[in-house]
Amino acid sequence: MGRMLENHSKLLLKENGIPVPDFRVASSPEEAAQIQSELGCPVVLKALVPVGKRGKAGAVKFAGSPEEARERAAELLGMTVRFFPVEKVLVEEKLNIAQELFVSIAVDKMRKGPVMLVSTAGGMDIEEVAAKYKDKLKIIEVDPLAGLPEYKCREIWSELGIKGVPLREAAACMFRLYQIFCRYDATILEVNPLVITKEGKVIAAASLMAIDDAAMYRHPELKNYVQIGSERAWRPLTELEKQVVAVNEADPYRGTARYTEMEGGDIGFMCGGGGGSLLCYDALLSYGGRPANYTEFGGNPPERKVYGLVSAILSKPGVKGLLVDANITNNTQVDLVAQGIVRALHDQKIDPRTFPVVVRLIGVNNDAGREILEQSGIEYCGEEISMSMAAKRMVDKMREFYKD
C-alpha cells in the first residue's frame, strides 16, 4: 500500500468529477498568508502528513485573515504529527457546513472484495460515533464484478435519511468514489467528512487514499503522488529504507525485499521464511544480539535484488556483522542468493575473515550456494542446525570477533 498526501488525493477526486474545496499548498507561513489573501475567504489549514486523526492531534487550524493564516501555518510547520514532521500545509476554503457524512471503501481480506462504510455521523471520532449510533451506519459488500450502480447509492443515502438535492449529489459522489477506487487500484479511499453545506452542495472536505504498490506499473501518472513502500511505515522512511524500496521496485515481478531500519544495533539481519523471520529475530534478541534492522526476503529474488538488499543492510553505520537466516525454501535459488551476498561484501570491501558473517540457507541449488559462500570465506550452515541455532552462532561469532 502506497500512501498519498491529501492534496494529491483531492486532485484525483477533482479530476474525476467530485467537488472539493478550493485549495493550495504552502511551504512557509508567508505562502499560507498569500494563499488566504488570494482565496479571499476564511480558510482551514491542515498539516500535510500521511496519517489520520490530525484534528485530534491539533494539526487542523482555522484562519480568517492573512495574518492569522501566517500565524497558524507557523504553528503547524513546527509540529510533528505521530512521528511525521510537518513540512507543508494544505490551505483550503472553509466550508459552511450543515451536515457531515462519511464514506470509506477498502479491500476486506476476509470477504475477498471491496467493502464500503457509509454514515451520516461523519467528522472526528467516526469510529466511536458509528459504534454508538448504528442506525446511522451502513456496511455494503460490493460485488467486484457487478460493481456499484448509482441507483443503489441513492437507496443507501435515502435509507440513512438524506433527502432532496443533497441525496442526488451524495449518491453521485459515492458512485464516483467507487469508480475512482477501482480505476486507480486503491486499497483504501476515504472521505471524512463528505460535507453537505448550508447551500445544499455536497463537497469532499477531507480525503485519504492509498494505492496498491503492486499495481503502480499501471499508473505511471501517479508516480509523484504515491509513496511506495509506506504501508508499514509508522514514521517517515529513512534513506536506506527508500533505497531498498527502489531495489524492490526495480524487479517488481520476482522476489520481495523489505527493510526496516532499527535504532542502534550492530548485526545486519536478513531473513526469509514468513513467520520464521519473526522467530529468528526474537531468537537473535534472546541470545543477546542487537539487530540493526529487520529485513525479509523471499519469492526467489534475482541476484541483483539480493545484492541491493545486502548492500543497504551493510551501509548502515555501526553494522559489524551479517546474519542471513532462512527457513527451508521450495523455490528460492540458494546459489543466486549466495552470489548477491558475496558481491555485496566484495563491493563494500568487507572481508569475511575480519567481519563475522553467518549464512543459513536451504533450498534449490543448495550445494552450489554452499560452494560459492565457502570459497569466499563465509560460514555456511545448512539444515544440520535450526534457524534459532544459526542466530546463536551469529551472536557467539560477534563475541569472538569483538572480545573487547
Has domain 237-401 been given CATH number 3.40.50.261?
A: yes
For residues 209 and 50, is the Cβ–Cβ distance under 8 A?
no
| Predicted structure pTM score | 0.78
Q: Could you tell me how far CA 207 lies from the centroid of its own chain?
A: 16
Residue-range domain boundaries for the chain: 1-21+95-230, 22-94, 237-401
255, pLDDT greater than 70: yes
Q: Could you tell me how far CA 123 lies from the centroid of its own chain?
A: 23
Q: Phi/psi at 165 (nearest 5 deg)?
A: -60, -45
> Residue 254, SS3?
coil
- Terminal-residue alpha carbon distance, the chain: 44
> Residue 371, SS3?
helix
Model pLDDT for residues 268-287, shown as the tens digit of each residue: 999 986 677 888 999 999 99
Per-residue confidence (pLDDT) for residue 329, from 0 to 100: 67
CATH architecture, domain defined by 1-21+95-230: 2-Layer Sandwich (3.30)
Model pLDDT for residues 132-158, shown as the tens digit of each residue: 767 788 999 999 899 999 999 999 999
Instruction: Quickly state the pLDDT bin for 83 (edges 50, 70, 90).
Output: confident
* Class of residue 375 by CB neighbours under 10 A (exposed 0-12, middle 13-18, buried 19+): exposed
Q: What is the mean pLDDT of residues 368-395?
A: 93
Q: What is the mean pLDDT of residues 280-300?
A: 93
Q: Phi/psi at 25 (nearest 5 deg)?
A: -115, 135
Per-residue confidence (pLDDT) for residue 404, from 0 to 100: 63
Query: What does the mean pLDDT of the chain come to?
Result: 91
Residue 311 CA neighbour count, 13 Å, CB half: 18
Task: Please tell me the distance from the alpha carbon of residue 390 to that of residue 392, in angstroms, as a whole number.
Answer: 5
Q: What is the mean pLDDT of residues 294-322?
A: 94
387, pLDDT greater than 80: yes
CA–CA–CA angle 357, 358, 362 (5° rounding): 140
Looking at residue 222, the DSSP 8-state letter turns out to be: G
Task: Report, in angstroms and rounded to the nearest whole number, the Rg of the chain calculated over CA atoms.
Answer: 26
Model pLDDT for residues 227-247, shown as the tens digit of each residue: 776 666 667 888 899 889 888
Instruction: Quickly state the pLDDT bin for 383 (edges 50, 70, 90).
Output: confident
Smallest CA-to-CA distance from 86 within 54, 131, 128, 40 is with 54
Model pLDDT for residues 89-111, shown as the tens digit of each residue: 999 999 999 999 999 999 988 88
For residues 69 and 36, is the Cβ–Cβ distance under 8 A?
yes
Instruction: Quickly state the pLDDT bin for 127 (edges 50, 70, 90).
Output: low
**Domain range 22-94, CATH class:** alpha beta
Q: Phi/psi at 124 (nearest 5 deg)?
A: -65, 150
Whose grid coordinates read 454508538? Answer: 132
Instruction: Quickly state the pLDDT bin for 119 (edges 50, 70, 90).
Output: very high
